[in-house]
Chains A and B, each alone.
Chain A
């Protein structure tokens, strides 16, 4: 029996967004927004909790026919990997809504857009139908356009438009890929369970006189779509421009929720639908990851703008994720999923603290390392501690959640090639050096040391502490006790990896006698453990 709990989880943010138009009183509207987000979060945590308790995934499957003539169905379900996607979205968005609590103008609109984004990303994580996935994924582009275009900086329109165009291009490529998959499969279907069980058949298409493999073209389209939204260097220009113009909470929403969601979707689709193609392309993906991590680290070392810092950290982490995907090892796969959660928390902590300091005029959003552009750590101890924990999570210090994911990725990468571990290690040391320089410029500014009296009220307010300190606590808990989440991710990761390196399993037919009374041959099919 379907409980529609996932549907409720996804619908609540949309209802909350709609309610922003109804409740004119700003205070009431804010509380409605936060409540709907928190309710959705509660359902998401309950889904995770039931999963940890061993309840089967089928108990949370919502299934309804939608467009029957095109085999499009409304099907939502969760596995180990999508539960992590649900978790990071569920944690992040109430924090973002709380961070914009005191916005003087347009708070209702901003909250509504955050809620739409939350619902869209939850739907993306849970979708089991490709068309439905595309539906939610493309919805997620719209709020970003308005968030940047309305509340951005001086060049907000240009940044917003560029973001929308890039997203639209990515969405178009994704739709093209899904249509190719639809027409390649027989019978035609968008349902992932059907596609995973039989795979995407090899079919040739003719384009401009060339005969191309439909599955290869579809894989390429999906990769490019991910590269445009993720963002992967060199298709990251829109991201750096957007980060420079958007408010801190919007940057966190994109870097901490949209980007990880995109990576998780790509990992599911690439391993599940195109195992052979992914296996042959894994080397190229590895190289792309190494380039991203190298470019991100080198650029970060010299970065003087606070806003661009978050962009380069994101690009570096995307590179690490690509390395994890390309390594093809179980540890890397588990580390990849865990790392998305870690980075979500770290970028949220870092971005929101920097945004808070910026809003007080404590730091300049422009040049960071100029004399006097920072504050004294003794005047902003809480902000300093939160920033330190966030940076330590990014770099991968033991005891914090970033250490778990990064270590697992390096472990798997070393299996593929020792040079991966060496290059990632060098970039980590450089990353630490660069971020440490930023921390020093922010909190140990010599000029700021002499201005104690004027900066004594810069530290985080009670409300800000209320949503940032739980993030830090989560970073520590997930760093010291990652076992439940890792145990949740592992079966799903193993299942995905088995598709790339399949093991043939001979299983007896459950009805050994067919209607004619003759024995039925055993069916050989790929292992479906963990679904």
Chain B
């Protein structure tokens, strides 16, 4: 009964979300009662669907139940299948997404000041519609039984983003907002088309694109590459982060807007790649490095932008990019954990900085907020890079290989975390001024990433053996926990949970502890000597950061941004030139054909016309000629 009711309830909630968005768009000044009614129906249906899912799914990791396709909408043989499937990973992700969206509405109401709440009410309707569509898209993607259904979720995510902009545009008709919206839709649309073609090409190889049993099938690399590229466009990862770099003073780039516009696409995109992870982990090393490089460039670009809002968007994209890269090497479950943590970080940070000027709690709570969030931001990229490192170590062999890979990745992880910390420090510095954090605490945040990375490296070496295989935690609570909550048919069988999660959680605890000033005071006295004029360690690090930032700016400013826009512009001009040439040739060809046909028709037509209506002179000439020839003929006859 539960299993039968769940798919219908979910489809009904998705239909309600879509109907509400369309109705609101078509009748912006229409009867609000109908909109509220539809919203209520959606809320009840969606929560009911998730509850049924939580009750109906098997949390005991029994694979057979996941093979059931609960709801099949359409199928054309093994090629096109739209349906839903119940899996623990899907249930968990959707409940977390629901909690996050509720957080947006409930907690922000607590943090916002009264004057801001009044203005927020004017956009509350549209944000509810967008949130409903975002949740519907997320649910459709995570509960999908095939790639085709996940693509439907992507379309809903695009509509969710469009809905927010359209509503905002009703009160702000600026060209800037139009530019952002159109840029967003253009890039996401191109990404969606790439994903569609990737899916079609993958299906052409004979794969059903049903998530069950995808592993082991031969899928063309072109197909997978197109799907991954499409998801990167949706996530606004380099080089496709046009809209997140647009900064305007007049446009409302509030955190809530950014979250509602961008988050659905990220959740759906990650769901698609999560379910493809069995395929991704088998090969496609080049693709992995491409995604990782793009992610790093996105993160580095965050250092170069001036606006905190833009930087925030780029950091969000880079965290999602890290999750995607982790899928190639660290396994689906590990990547899903990191994705969840990064999303929690992003949402919390967004709302924290959104509401920071209006927080009315005590300074102690604000310091804890700041420390916790900054530590999460530091830990996330470090965790992902460690997971990637672990995967690479497992695949490479020999002591020299281990050393080379270890040194390279430790250096890279250090640089990445330090750069992220530097920018996070700027963000927190502005908060520091409002919140009044002490100099010692601020310095602690700058030094703690180094400590974290050193501990990471030690942990990795501790867990490794000379042959390069990294220790696995098997048969323990962590393993069954990960299988319990992240179970999915898409996850490769026998995948074990990585030990790095436990290392990261320990480091996180350390970072949070460092963030509490009262403890810091004691540690300052006993363990950490952090006088402002004391050890030059911090100044050396600052010097490294400055140089690294300059290099990053040079690389990105001249090397990358100096190249890509010019390249795209040249490409666009060439395509336009080809188009002009084609049109000119087409016009010439049509005119030539017309001339030929006209000539072929005109000559005999004129002759016929002449014979029919013709001039008297022609008739006279003809008659005279005929008469002369007849006379000549008779004359010749007579003379014979």
- Kindly report which residue of chain A lies nearest to residue B173, judged by CB atoms: A449
Which of B76, B186, B583 lies in contact with A433, CB distance below 8 A? B186
Q: Contacts A378-B173, A398-B192 given; 10 further ones with Cβ under 8 A?
A: A298-B578, A299-B579, A299-B583, A301-B579, A406-B196, A421-B222, A425-B194, A436-B189, A481-B73, A486-B80
- Kindly report which residue of chain A lies nearest to residue B222, judged by CB atoms: A418
- Kindly report which residue of chain A lies nearest to residue B25, judged by CB atoms: A381
Query: B575-607, CB under 8 A of A: which get 1 and which 0?
Result: 110111011001001100110000000000000
Interface residues of B in 349-402 (CB under 8 A from A): none
Give the docked Cα–Cα distance between A398 and B154 (Å): 9
Q: Is the CB of B579 within 8 A of A298?
A: yes
Tell me, yes or no, whether A26 is within 8 Å of chain B by CB.
no
Binding site for B on A (CB under 8 A): 233-234, 236-237, 240, 294-295, 298-299, 301-302, 331, 334, 376-378, 381-382, 385, 395-399, 403-404, 406-408, 410-412, 414-415, 418, 421-422, 424-425, 428-430, 432-433, 436, 440, 444, 446, 449-450, 452, 480-483, 486-487, 490
Interface residues of B in 227-250 (CB under 8 A from A): none
Give the docked Cα–Cα distance between A395 and B166 (Å): 22
Comparing B197-205, B337-345, B420-428, B500-508, the segment that makes contact with chain A is B197-205
Q: Is the CB of B196 within 8 A of A407?
A: yes
Give the docked Cα–Cα distance between A295 and B76 (Å): 32
For chain B, the count of residues having a C-beta within 8 Å of the partner chain is: 53
The 22 listed contacts between A and B (C-beta, < 8 Å) are A234-B590, A237-B593, A298-B578, A299-B582, A301-B576, A302-B583, A385-B25, A398-B151, A398-B152, A398-B192, A399-B151, A407-B199, A411-B79, A411-B201, A411-B203, A414-B204, A421-B201, A429-B190, A433-B190, A482-B80, A483-B74, A490-B77
Tell me, yes or no, whether B170 is within 8 Å of chain A by CB.
yes
Q: Is the CB of A233 within 8 A of B586?
A: yes
Q: Is the CB of A411 within 8 A of B74?
A: no
CB neighbours (8 Å) of B627 from chain A are none
Tell me, yes or no, whether B82 is within 8 Å of chain A by CB.
yes
- Kindly report which residue of chain A lies nearest to residue B204, judged by CB atoms: A414
Q: Is the CB of B201 within 8 A of A410?
A: yes
Whether A237 touches B590, Cβ cut-off 8 Å, given contacts A421-B200, A436-B185, is: yes
Q: Is the CB of A446 within 8 A of B175?
A: yes
In the assembled complex, the CB of A429 is this many whole angstroms from the nearest CB of chain B, namely 5
Q: Sorted from nearest, which 6 A-B pairs have the closest CB atoms?
A: A414-B204, A237-B590, A398-B151, A298-B579, A483-B74, A425-B197
CB neighbours (8 Å) of A331 from chain B are 79
In the assembled complex, the CB of B380 is this many whole angstroms from the nearest CB of chain A, namely 31
Whether A378 touches B73, Cβ cut-off 8 Å, given contacts A234-B589, A397-B155, is: no
CB neighbours (8 Å) of A482 from chain B are 74, 76, 80
CB neighbours (8 Å) of B594 from chain A are 237
- Kindly report which residue of chain A lies nearest to residue B149, judged by CB atoms: A398
In the assembled complex, the CB of B431 is this many whole angstroms from the nearest CB of chain A, namely 37
- Kindly report which residue of chain B lies nearest to residue A396, judged by CB atoms: B196
Q: Is the CB of A410 within 8 A of B579?
A: no
Q: Is the CB of B25 within 8 A of A234?
A: no
Query: B63-99, CB under 8 A of A: which get 1 and which 0?
Result: 0000000000111110110100000000000000000
CB neighbours (8 Å) of B589 from chain A are 234
Whether A381 touches B26, Cβ cut-off 8 Å, given contacts A334-B76, A396-B193, A480-B74, is: yes
CB neighbours (8 Å) of A432 from chain B are 189-190, 193
Tell me, yes or no, whether B169 is within 8 Å of chain A by CB.
yes
CB neighbours (8 Å) of B169 from chain A are 377-378
Whether A440 touches B193, Cβ cut-off 8 Å, given contacts A302-B579, A331-B79, A334-B76, is: no
Give the docked Cα–Cα distance between A433 and B189 (Å): 9
In the assembled complex, the CB of A421 is this many whole angstroms from the nearest CB of chain B, namely 5
- Kindly report which residue of chain A lies nearest to residue B585, judged by CB atoms: A295
In the assembled complex, the CB of A408 is this many whole angstroms from the nearest CB of chain B, namely 7
Q: Is the CB of A415 within 8 A of B576?
A: no
CB neighbours (8 Å) of B154 from chain A are 398
- Kindly report which residue of chain A lies nearest to residue B597, judged by CB atoms: A165
Tell me, yes or no, whether B411 is within 8 Å of chain A by CB.
no
In the assembled complex, the CB of A481 is this many whole angstroms from the nearest CB of chain B, namely 5
Which of A299, A395, A421, A449 lies in contact with B204, CB distance below 8 A? A421
CB neighbours (8 Å) of B288 from chain A are none
- Kindly report which residue of chain B lies nearest to residue A241, judged by CB atoms: B590
- Kindly report which residue of chain B lies nearest to residue A169, judged by CB atoms: B597
In the assembled complex, the CB of A302 is this many whole angstroms from the nearest CB of chain B, namely 4
Query: B179-213, CB under 8 A of A: which get 1 and which 0?
Result: 00010011001101110110111011000000000
Q: Is the CB of B586 within 8 A of A234?
A: yes
Which of B22, B185, B222 lies in contact with A385, CB distance below 8 A? B22
Tell me, yes or no, whether B28 is within 8 Å of chain A by CB.
yes
Give the docked Cα–Cα distance between A197 and B120 (Å): 73
Q: Is the CB of A399 within 8 A of B190?
A: no
- Mostly helix, strand, loop or mixed at chain A's interface? helix
In the assembled complex, the CB of B415 is this many whole angstroms from the nearest CB of chain A, namely 35
Give the docked Cα–Cα distance between A317 and B152 (Å): 23
Give the docked Cα–Cα distance between A234 and B593 (Å): 9
Give the docked Cα–Cα distance between A415 and B583 (Å): 31
Query: B119-159, CB under 8 A of A: which get 1 and which 0?
Result: 00000000000000000000000000000100110110000
CB neighbours (8 Å) of A406 from chain B are 196, 200
Whether A414 touches B583, Cβ cut-off 8 Å, given contacts A398-B151, A444-B182, A480-B82, is: no
Tell me, yes or no, whether B178 is within 8 Å of chain A by CB.
yes
Give the docked Cα–Cα distance between A398 and B152 (Å): 6
Give the docked Cα–Cα distance between A406 and B178 (Å): 30
Give the docked Cα–Cα distance between A385 and B166 (Å): 12
Whether A483 touches B76, Cβ cut-off 8 Å, given contacts A398-B155, A418-B222, is: yes
CB neighbours (8 Å) of A302 from chain B are 576, 579-580, 583
- Kindly report which residue of chain B lies nearest to residue A480, judged by CB atoms: B73
Give the docked Cα–Cα distance between A120 and B28 (Å): 44
- Kindly report which residue of chain A lies nearest to residue B578, judged by CB atoms: A298
In the assembled complex, the CB of A74 is this many whole angstroms from the nearest CB of chain B, namely 35
Query: B546-567, CB under 8 A of A: which get 1 and which 0?
Result: 0000000000000000000000
CB neighbours (8 Å) of A436 from chain B are 182, 185-186, 189
- Kindly report which residue of chain A lies nearest to residue B189, judged by CB atoms: A432
CB neighbours (8 Å) of A404 from chain B are 76, 80
Give the docked Cα–Cα distance between A201 and B196 (Å): 44
- Kindly report which residue of chain A lies nearest to residue B156, judged by CB atoms: A399
Q: Is the CB of B582 within 8 A of A295?
A: yes
Q: Is the CB of B200 within 8 A of A410?
A: yes
Which of B151, B170, B201 lies in contact with A378, CB distance below 8 A? B170
Whether A377 touches B73, Cβ cut-off 8 Å, given contacts A301-B576, A396-B196, is: no
Q: Is the CB of B583 within 8 A of A483?
A: no
Q: Is the CB of A486 within 8 A of B76?
A: yes
Q: Is the CB of B193 within 8 A of A395?
A: yes
CB neighbours (8 Å) of A428 from chain B are 193, 197
In the assembled complex, the CB of B317 is this many whole angstroms from the nearest CB of chain A, namely 21
Give the docked Cα–Cα distance between A433 and B220 (Å): 26
CB neighbours (8 Å) of B203 from chain A are 407, 411
Interface residues of B in 582-640 (CB under 8 A from A): 582-583, 586, 589-590, 593-594
In the assembled complex, the CB of A474 is this many whole angstroms from the nearest CB of chain B, namely 15
- Kindly report which residue of chain B lies nearest to residue A330, judged by CB atoms: B77
Q: Is the CB of A408 within 8 A of B79?
A: yes
Give the docked Cα–Cα distance between A406 and B189 (Å): 16
Query: B298-314, CB under 8 A of A: which get 1 and which 0?
Result: 00000000000000000
CB neighbours (8 Å) of A398 from chain B are 148, 151-152, 154-155, 192, 196
Give the docked Cα–Cα distance between A378 and B204 (Å): 42
Give the docked Cα–Cα distance between A182 and B61 (Å): 68
CB neighbours (8 Å) of B196 from chain A are 396-398, 403, 406-407
Q: Is the CB of B586 within 8 A of A295?
A: yes
Q: Is the CB of B201 within 8 A of A377?
A: no
CB neighbours (8 Å) of B77 from chain A are 490
In the assembled complex, the CB of B503 is this many whole angstroms from the nearest CB of chain A, namely 40
Give the docked Cα–Cα distance between A233 and B585 (Å): 12
Give the docked Cα–Cα distance between A298 and B584 (Å): 11
- Kindly report which residue of chain B lies nearest to residue A452, judged by CB atoms: B173
Give the docked Cα–Cα distance between A486 and B189 (Å): 26
